[in-house]
Structure formats: structure tokens, C-alpha cells
Amino acid sequence: MQDKRNLQKKMQEQIDCFAGTDYLTKLGAVKNEPDKEQAPLQWLALAILYGINENAKKIKIEKNQDGTNRLVAEFRDFDLPSPGDDVIEGIFEAMRQMTHIEDDKGKLSLSIGVRDSSLDLEAKIKKQDDKEKISLKFPDK
């Protein structure tokens, strides 16, 4: 994977690049991204932009050992397009590196810049039994 120090910066560049596009369509296209190191950051950036645009409360990413995954924008319990299992694995790796959460459970504030403003997301990672989950909670309006 990429240099740990640059992951959040690279995700920030993706946010800047995709701001103002059709986020949902772009989310569905991430599975076709040839750069497998870039794809997880691209999906995260697009999911965050989509969440901001749709006033989501939370975005959840779940992966199970049985191979099932679920990516949800919590405002209508809407399933987000899956970027594929390998990208989902990369999302978990990137989030652990950006947040430095190495234990089975942890949370912290993740500051994200969007154009000329910023927001703090509450990032949680939880691993329990045969399930691992990331949640990005948006600030209350």
C-alpha cells in the first residue's frame, strides 16, 4: 500500500478532484479503476462527498469472513455501489493506516477538507468475531 503519511493527503486530492461530479455513478465505476492502490481512496472520497451531498448521518462499511460485504449510506439505509472485494480490503487497510487504529476497536475524529471548508467525521473501526466494520459519522447539522 502507499506511504502511510500520504494516504489522507491522497484521499483529500480525490475529494478535490471529484467535488461536483455525480458521486453515485462514480462510486459504481470504482470497481473498474485499474490502479488498485488508488481505488480504496477514491471510493472513500466519493462516499464522503456523497454523504455530504445527501446529508447522510453515517456511512458504514462491513465485511464478513463469509465473503459478504455491505456498504451503506445511513440516511435512507441505502446500499452504496460495491467497488469489489479487493477494493473493500484496501479501504479497511487505508482507514487503519490513516487513523492509526490497530486494535480491534477504536474511534477518533478524522478531519476532511472539502473545497474551502472542512468537517470532522467520527471514524470508528470495530472487529468482532467474523465481522469487521468501519463507520464514518457525519456531524449533526
* 51 beta partners: none
pLDDT score recorded for residue 3 = 54
What domain range is 22 assigned to? 4-137
Distances in Å between the Cα of 113 and the Cα atoms of 1, 16, 82, 87 are: 23, 9, 24, 23
Q: What pLDDT, in 10s, does the model give residues 26-66?
A: 999 999 999 988 999 999 999 999 999 988 999 999 999 88
pLDDT score recorded for residue 58 = 94
pLDDT means over runs of 10, the chain (141 residues): 68 91 92 92 94 92 90 81 92 93 93 87 94 94 67
pLDDT score recorded for residue 1 = 44
* 62 beta partners: 70, 133
C-alpha span between 52 and 45 (Å, rounded): 11
Question: pTM score > 0.85 for this model?
Answer: yes
The number of angstroms, rounded, from the C-alpha of 139 to the middle of its chain's C-alpha atoms is 16
Domain count, the chain: 1
Domain with residue 54: its CATH number is 3.30.450.90
